[in-house]
């Protein structure tokens, strides 16, 4: 393009400067004093919502300022002229009603200076304007965001804190101050550590500084001093903050009072420890009891066996002939010896079960064979009592995984009890069937006197007697059911009872189905 030789170098430089300032939205203004018509570049007019060709006076300037900013701006101008100090102010300009954006607001920063003549009289007032609306809006948004954060934090149900990257605490919410009684100047920085219990403080500080150095989440439990001087267990947790470019900004954390929960946990721990100690003591006592009973049983059985042996020799008339009265006395001696020996054996068996000294020889057993084996053992007692035994045929496919000797012992005890508590003419029933969840139930029921409800809940406790009078008549000590249930549970089974006074009782022995049978059934 042709070169305009009419433009001087100075004029070209001014045009370039104006173009550059316009690109960054900086406007130039010149004012002769006293104020009358003002010389504004187009960018300044744009800042005041004026067209490029508009004539500007000092009245125009004040009219376009926000009403709330006029007086402080006037005061700033007068102060700068009178004191020779720089003029630097932020104000708002408002679009007039007839403008396309009527009522719109723009934030402007004005920077200027006063020129004086040789006598010191102010003669001009010049400067620049910069549109700072975007920065102001961002700052206002940030301030609003911070205000919202502080409002939420101060009304949160927990104590909240914020740190710088070096760990220096710059904010704690109102909950912290209400809880601890500290003031802001006491708590900020590392002052918050002053209300941590002296015994917990070194550990809390060390953990905090180490986590901050590694820029990883922080967690600590410690006792915090409340405003009333009481210490409360609290949990302190924080997560590191990072900027958009990954720079570490510090922590945002919270402190929660967990005193009741901590106290409850400590109490549970104390009770658990006490329970462990009590259990250990009980186990020790059981071992001592079992050892004592074993020794005593041996010591008692030895003379009892000797009594039986000498009584038998006398009955055989090894020591000379006997008359009828003497023979009757010897029979009573031997009967009493056998009764006492049976009681001692029952106590010894119970002690062995309680001490866990019973060996179980588990095998797959056919239920019908077990019932066949127990019937002859109880038959004479049933016949002697004038009772009837009902025994439906058991399914030949029923097998259990159990110890045959222990099962026979349990069933014989249940049947003996049924005989003991069923009046002559009554009925006893022995039956087996498949139970739920891979079990077999063997039931012993009778039409006897039944068990009162208050006795039924303790019938399996040791030394409990349903009817002491009947027990004494039949030489019982109340250990048979306790031993039987323990034996059943030792084979992964159980023993339960149902009864109604005057209508009889039902005792159910549950045993696990034989393993091979259970697998076969599950597969087919």
320 and 238 inside one domain: no
405 and 506 inside one domain: yes
Using alpha carbons, select from 88, 85, 84, 73 the residue that is nearest to residue 127. Answer: 88
Q: Say whether pLDDT at 469 is over 60.
A: no
Asked if residue 16 is part of any domain, the answer here is yes
Rounded to whole angstroms, how far apart are CA atoms 275 and 320? 64
Total domain count, the chain: 4
pLDDT digits (tens, 9 = 90+) for 228-263: 999 999 999 999 999 888 999 999 999 999 988 888
Tokens encoding 311: 């009584």
Residue 93 sits in a domain of what CATH number? Answer: 3.30.450.20
Rounded to whole angstroms, how far apart are CA atoms 83 and 397? 117
400 and 518 inside one domain: yes
Rounded to whole angstroms, how far apart are CA atoms 414 and 57? 119
Tokens encoding 355: 């001490």
Q: Tell me if 241 sits within 8 A of 270, measured CB to CB.
A: no
464 and 428 inside one domain: yes
Average pLDDT of the residues in 409-438: 91
pLDDT digits (tens, 9 = 90+) for 488-523: 999 999 999 999 898 999 999 999 999 765 433 433
Average pLDDT of the residues in 393-417: 91
56 and 125 inside one domain: yes
Average pLDDT of the residues in 396-418: 91
| pLDDT of res. 401 | 95
514 and 370 inside one domain: yes
Rounded to whole angstroms, how far apart are CA atoms 493 and 368? 18
pLDDT digits (tens, 9 = 90+) for 281-292: 877 877 777 677
| pLDDT of res. 480 | 80
Rounded to whole angstroms, how far apart are CA atoms 524 and 522? 6
Domain of residue 312 covers 269-354
Question: Considering the entire predicted model, what is its pTM?
Answer: 0.41
Asked if residue 2 is part of any domain, the answer here is no
pLDDT digits (tens, 9 = 90+) for 426-459: 999 999 999 988 999 999 999 999 988 888 888 8
Asked if residue 4 is part of any domain, the answer here is no
350 and 367 inside one domain: no
155 and 89 inside one domain: no
């Amino acid at each position: 393009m042709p070169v305009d030789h009419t433009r001087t170098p100075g004029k070209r430089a001014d045009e370039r400067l104006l173009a550059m300032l316009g690109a960054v939205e900086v406007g130039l203004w010149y004012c002769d004093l006293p104020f009358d018509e003002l010389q504004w570049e187009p960018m300044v007019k744009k800042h005041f919502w004026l067209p490029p060709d508009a004539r500007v006076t000092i009245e125009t300037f004040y009219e376009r300022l926000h009403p709330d900013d006029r007086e402080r701006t006037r005061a700033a101008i007068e102060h700068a002229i009178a004191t020779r100090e720089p003029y630097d102010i932020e104000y708002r300009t408002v679009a007039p009603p007839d403008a396309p954006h009527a009522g719109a607001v723009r934030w402007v920063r004005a920077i200027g200076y006063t020129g004086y003549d040789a006598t010191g009289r102010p003669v001009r007032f010049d400067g620049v304007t910069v549109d700072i609306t975007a920065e102001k809006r961002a700052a206002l948004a940030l301030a609003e965001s911070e205000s919202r954060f502080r409002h939420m934090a101060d009304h949160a149900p927990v104590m909240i804190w914020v740190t710088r990257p070096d760990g220096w605490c710059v904010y704690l919410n109102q909950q912290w101050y209400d809880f601890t009684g500290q003031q802001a100047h006491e708590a900020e920085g590392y002052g918050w550590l002053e209300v941590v219990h002296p015994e917990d403080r070194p550990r809390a500080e060390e953990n905090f500084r180490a986590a901050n150095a590694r820029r990883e989440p922080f967690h600590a439990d410690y006792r915090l001093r409340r405003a009333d001087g009481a210490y409360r267990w609290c949990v302190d947790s924080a997560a590191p903050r990072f900027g958009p470019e990954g720079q570490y900004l510090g922590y945002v954390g919270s402190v929660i009072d967990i005193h009741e929960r901590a106290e409850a946990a400590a109490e549970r721990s104390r009770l658990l420890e006490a329970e462990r100690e009590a259990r250990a003591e009980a186990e020790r006592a059981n071992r001592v009891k079992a050892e004592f009973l074993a020794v005593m049983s041996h010591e008692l059985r030895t003379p009892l066996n000797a009594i039986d042996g000498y009584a038998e020799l006398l009955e055989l008339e090894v020591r000379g002939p006997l008359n009828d009265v003497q023979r009757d006395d010897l029979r009573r001696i031997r009967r009493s010896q056998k009764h006492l020996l049976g009681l001692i054996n029952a106590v010894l068996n119970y002690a062995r079960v309680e001490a866990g000294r019973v060996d179980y020889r588990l095998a797959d057993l056919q239920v019908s064979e077990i019932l066949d084996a127990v019937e002859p053992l109880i038959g004479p007692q049933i016949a002697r009592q004038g009772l009837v035994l009902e025994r439906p045929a058991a399914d030949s496919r029923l097998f259990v995984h159990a110890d045959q000797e222990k099962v026979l012992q349990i069933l014989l005890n249940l049947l003996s009890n049924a005989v003991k508590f069923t009046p002559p003419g009554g009925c006893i029933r022995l039956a087996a069937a498949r139970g739920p969840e891979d079990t077999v139930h063997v039931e012993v029921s009778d039409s006897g006197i039944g068990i009162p409800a208050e006795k039924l809940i303790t019938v399996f406790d040791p030394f409990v007697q349903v009817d002491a009078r009947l027990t004494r008549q039949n030489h019982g000590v109340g250990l048979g059911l306790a031993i039987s249930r323990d034996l059943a549970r030792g084979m992964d089974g159980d023993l339960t009872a149902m009864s109604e006074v005057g209508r009889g009782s039902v005792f159910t022995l549950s045993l696990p189905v034989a393993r091979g049978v259970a697998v076969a059934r599950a597969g087919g």
